[in-house]
Chain A
Amino acid sequence: MHELALMEEVRRIAMAAAAAEGAQRIHSVKLTVGRLSGVDPGALAFAFEVVMADGISQGATLDLEVVPTVCQCGGCGQRFEPVDVIHACPRCGELSSELLAGRELEVTGLEVS
């Protein structure tokens, strides 16, 4: 579990962005997380509480956006969202595909005042 370390990075990013804006408070942080990013949303939410508990981020809420996996078929080029851990193309059945989305781990928004 490295969710705590990731959240400390989230806090650094949020604090820097808030400081650059001259903001006094951080109200919410939006995180975009892919299903294949290897983090557990529950553990992220817990770590958020711990890491943001003091200072200008006190009471901030976590807006967690889990984005779907998107593949592009290596056979026919079809784009699809796999329904299973086996990323079979729904059009031609090909198993090998390129991952277009699904590994995201990004801070994508901040609400401040």
Chain B
Amino acid sequence: MCSHCSCGQPAASVEPTPQHRTLQLRHNLLASNDAAAEHNRQRFAAAGLLVVNVLSAPGSGKTAILEQLARQWLPAPVGVIVGDLATDNDARRLRAAGARAVQIQTGDLCHLEAAMVGRAFDQLDNHGMELLLIENVGNLVCPTAFDLGERLRLAVLSVPEGEDKPLKYPALFKSADAVMINKLDLAEVVDFDRTAALANLAGVAPQAQIFELSARTGAGMGALLHWLSQQRQPMAAA
């Protein structure tokens, strides 16, 4: 727009000086993370591990679900790489549940990156292990764009968060192979509209398997365990 008056005419184009030039680039900002993720994926495959990246809002029950999986995925030990802001509470809970847990102290970082997961994996004894779970930082936006080298991505939606979460954070749910609806034991208390939640998920994330469970009571864990072991089978056969 003309910068001298409000005539609305396009501004006179500035004659570019000979050395003034426009460069065409095509540089993906996530390229270095994607490369590290691919490297992780190859290492995980070589180790025969099914690796699962678990994402949700803070407090949806990621750690509680992983504790259940660690207790019930028998007889092999379950590995967990857990991103936690400041404390090692989650790692301690997971170890108490029998997992081999390595914590990544994320400070104020809002997501895990592939290189961090690679370094954490260096510290993990994966002997005899089949399943490696990665608990991402509790955040519904930032972790979505960062591939960690996982085979499967699981999103958790807990009942008290409301049935419209998938509509508000579509990118996360669209990237998930499965969605776990957790804290089902609270459904009545919070007047959870299950039909609406399932319809929203079917609309936003038609690709996702849905599991309804309570990590508190253990209800519904069987179906999730069964699905995960099925997901492992093509690898075990290979």
Contact = CB atoms under 8 A, between A and B. Distances in A.
A37 interface: yes
Given A36-B174, A106-B27, A95 B141 contact: no
A65 to B, nearest CB: 13
A10 B202 CA distance: 36
Contacts, number: 82
A13 B25 contact: yes
Interface footprint category on A? 20 to 34
B106 to A, nearest CB: 11
Contacts of A96: 206-207
A88 interface: yes
B206 A38 contact: no
Interface residues of B, number: 31
A106 B29 contact: yes
B171 A36 contact: yes
A21 B171 CA distance: 37
B222 interface: no
A82 to B, nearest CB: 10
Contact of B30 (A36, A85, A105): A105
A36 B141 CA distance: 10
B20 A113 contact: yes
Interface string B117-158: 000000000000000000000000110110000000000000
Given A85-B170, A113-B17, A107 B25 contact: yes
Given A88-B203, A113-B19, A108 B25 contact: yes
A85 B109 CA distance: 27
B178 to A, nearest CB: 15
A36 B170 CA distance: 8
Given A36-B171, A38-B141, A38-B145, A13 B27 contact: yes
A67 interface: no
Nearest to A20: B23
A95 B202 contact: yes
Contacts of B142: 1-2, 38
Given A13-B29, A38-B141, A105-B28, 5 more contacts: A23-B21, A38-B145, A38-B171, A95-B203, A113-B20
Interface of A: 1-2, 6, 9-10, 13, 17, 21, 23, 27, 36-39, 85-86, 88, 95-96, 99, 103, 105-113
